[in-house]
Structure 1
Amino acid sequence: MNSNKPKIKVAILDLYDGVANEGMRGFREILERYKTKHNLNLTYQVFDVRGKAEVPDTGFDAYISSGGPGSPLDSEGSVWERNYFNLIDKLEDHNLGNNGDKKQVFFVCHSFQLMCRKYGLGEISTRRSPSFGVLPVHIVGEGSQEQVFQGLSDPFYTVDSRSWQVINTDPNRFKELGMDLLALEKERPYVNLPRAMMAIRFSPYFIATQFHPEADAHGMSLLLQRDDKKADVISEHGEAKYNEMLERLEDPDKIVHTQHTI
């Protein structure tokens, strides 16, 4: 029993805008697994940020901000985004104060892009073609010392699913804000294009990934076998690489390891 243990409250910020996805299931399953493994008195609540303009208050211990569809630029000035950034500002102010209970926030994919826009860390643009599949991510700079990445290889494998990217890092802006770039997308020596940022430590309490650490092998397998996703991957990477991705799903050192580590 864990009823006498301190209660841990987690807010999940759903940015999927009602679009079917595997991400929300992944977050729930990770929290349930963590709760059981450590015998915690942990609860979570989901907020429909885009569909209903819902945001939590600052009374939660941790916040997970999800991925989502569409442009990370077109929402600028919208009601839901104003509410969202207002919450982020409140959490930042709380963490800067003399409070012992710092608020931890994890931003994923669409949320990563929104936060990069908020801080002005690089150029946000559409990719030449969508990225989707089980792909390598390379650790850079302070990423080798990042606690969240401890236990991962370099490169490590994870699920990438995006039409947008954040490129052309502004090192001076990172230095000015005291932020650290932790990872970049795979190296492509045959393509003369900038590599997208894949993970950033915004502060001791805010971290973000462009990739989807919540993705699991089962959900990814179902997606990869959908006709539209299969066509996307083969068009971008070729059939041999598509088959390799399916094989990677069965490898315990690939996305299974990433999901259980981050």
Structure 2
Amino acid sequence: MSNYEIPEVWEWEPDEKSKTGNQPTAGSRFEQKLPVGDQPLQVYSLGTPNGVKVAIMLEEIKEAGVENAGYDLYKINIMKGDQFGSDFVNINPNSKIPAMMDHSEKEPIRVFESVSILLYLAEKFETFMPTSLAERTELMNWLFWQTGAAPFLGGGFGHFYNYAPTAQEYPINRYTMEAKRQLDLLDKRLADNAYINGDEYGIADMAIWPWYGRLVQGELYGEADKFLKADEYTNLKAWADKILERPAVKRALEVEYKEI
């Protein structure tokens, strides 16, 4: 039972964590000069699920032998507040990783939001995305599903199960129910499909695997896989293990993030 009472008007009370964490306003907090390497794609990221998506795509492009797709990968330490520096905010005004600059175009192009980066790279290099209207639309269905669903998994279930300072029954029950519903949805989808979008591996798999594949493999949120009875989702687990065997995925999980 909580003693918290909702105030008539919410007021922000800064604390030590808020110096490098979220505040109720957007924008840069300090001057920053991000490094720019020699490769056409400059990526500023971290090894979180959203960051891993882009690392996988970049490594899969390399594995496929695509030319002019080299990249430099720099570490944005979100615990230190690197994402609020002026250069990073100029690339992503939302101050979230990952973010990318494509210097191969006549005028450099900024790309932010992980799925936007996946789509950009797939379209630019014409790979890992179907071309027919029906298959492309199905791909978009699952990409947009992931962008809408993952916040309930990460910011909802993951936060209250693994990160919140105290265990709270109501939010844990609420978000566990939603997490299991999402896992069941994917398990059913993969019962008759080799990959998320059907028979072909593509960016929908790259977007979904770092969240849901890693979760059922026991790599997210402590022992959340046991808590969620992840072994029950046999189709999802088989798919997750199959993705993990891809050489590009293995490299993406081990890739070195350069210090800024």
TM-score category of the 2 structures, normalised to the smaller one: 0.3 to 0.5
Greater helix proportion: 2
- Highest Rg: 1 or 2? 2
Q: Given the two structures, how large is their TM-score scaled by the length of structure 2? A: 0.33
